Amino acid sequence: MVDIPNRPAPKPRARVQAMKEYHPPLGSRDSLRLDFNENTVACSPAVRDVLSGISAGDLTRYPERESVEAQVARNLELNPEQVILTNGVDEAIHVLFQAFLEEGNELLLPVPTYTMYEVYASSTDAQIVTVQAAKDFKFPYQALLEAITPQTKVIALANPNSPTGSIIRRDQIIAIAERAPHAIVLLDEAYFHFYGETAIDLLASLSNLVIARTFSKAYGVAGLRVGILAASAENARWMRRVISPYSVNSVALACIPAALADRAYLDRYVEEVLAARTEFEAALDALSIRRWPSEANFILVHIGGKHREFVQAMNAGGVLVRDRSNDPGCAGCVRITIGTREQMRRAAMVLNNVVSHMREAKEAEA
């Protein structure tokens, strides 16, 4: 045997060493999962039919995404060269940041917002500049405009935003893109279907706008990992240089046309969620739980100092909800995904019990 000396392993870049590992919470299978903003029922039966027809032969070949990209482009009324399918919006964010962010650049980020913008920006050499929303969690429009500098290279905006559910008005999006022509404005429309307003038509006039969409939420195929980057043909060309040609697998690609075609299924699910949201808001109000207005399939609520106990008690009652207390400005906040009315009535019952117990315990302490 050759005697190989045991040397220390090489270290990654300093920026990577400084990063924290990101571990999403694990969910128990039997619980009602209201912690990931997923579709809480299922995808279209048409997608399941495609899945059951996939053969071993289909899996031997490397995936080819061009024809599906063309179908998605048609669905969005864009040209095929403007659309890139990605391994979820997460990969879209990663690819965009890899393509555009370098040392000396700033990523401008209103917070609180979706965690992965910061995670992926941390692995680049750019600086992250955050703009804190006020207590009402409305989009901090003026403060964001004022934070634009010549170094701003990417502005990442989720519309609707997570975890707050707040929105950015169309005129605000236009003004930001015009104020920062030297920066890419990433508008993440992951929750578009629940809101109903898009800025995708603005791609024709704003050359620095990039829009992201996902199949993970309303479409109910988060496990397939498919996202969309929609941009000008020129910006799309830059991002195509960075993305792996095979990052969207062939099973996912086979399913997307069926998901797109079953428009009725999507509309029914969205309608159900919106009805459930209204009902659940009333349940929260009846319990005097503070909540913020949401245009998405989730609601941010204020639980206070006992947020951890609250999340655990909901979990014990079979309902998983997400503690967002560590998000900037969100001390004591919990995010609850909205599913169907039936599911949310169950969630409201558990919520009632948990809150009553917590209030009784507090009174007993006093």
Ligand X SMILES: Cc1ncc(COP(=O)(O)O)c(C=O)c1O
Q: Which residues contact ligand X (rule: CB under 6 A)?
A: 37, 88-90, 114, 158, 162, 188, 190, 214, 216, 222, 227
Nearer to ligand X, 91 or 272 (CB): 91
- What b/e string do you get for 100-117 counting C-beta neighbours within 10 Å, with b at 16 or more? bbeeebbbbbbbbbbebb
**Distance separating alpha carbons of residues 320 and 298, to the nearest angstrom:** 13
Nearer to ligand X, 124 or 161 (CB): 161
Closest distance to ligand X from the beta carbon of 300 (Å)? 12
- Name the residue with the smallest CB distance to ligand X: 88
**AA identity, residue 183:** A
**SS3 state at 256:** helix
Closest distance to ligand X from the beta carbon of 338 (Å)? 14
**Distance separating alpha carbons of residues 225 and 211, to the nearest angstrom:** 17
Angle (CA) 261-263-266 rounded to 5° is 125
Nearer to ligand X, 88 or 110 (CB): 88
Closest distance to ligand X from the beta carbon of 78 (Å)? 18
Closest distance to ligand X from the beta carbon of 23 (Å)? 15
Nearer to ligand X, 176 or 221 (CB): 221
Nearer to ligand X, 162 or 315 (CB): 162
Closest distance to ligand X from the beta carbon of 349 (Å)? 26
Closest C-alpha among 278, 289, 295, 300 to residue 358: 289
Nearer to ligand X, 226 or 355 (CB): 226
Nearer to ligand X, 215 or 310 (CB): 215
Closest distance to ligand X from the beta carbon of 179 (Å)? 22
The torsion angle over the Cα atoms of residues 184, 160, 190 and 239, rounded to 10 degrees, is 0
- What b/e string do you get for 192-207 counting C-beta neighbours within 10 Å, with b at 16 or more? bbbbeebbbebbeebe
Q: In residues, how long is the chain?
A: 366
Closest distance to ligand X from the beta carbon of 115 (Å)? 8
* Phi, psi (deg, nearest 5) at residue 337: -70, 145
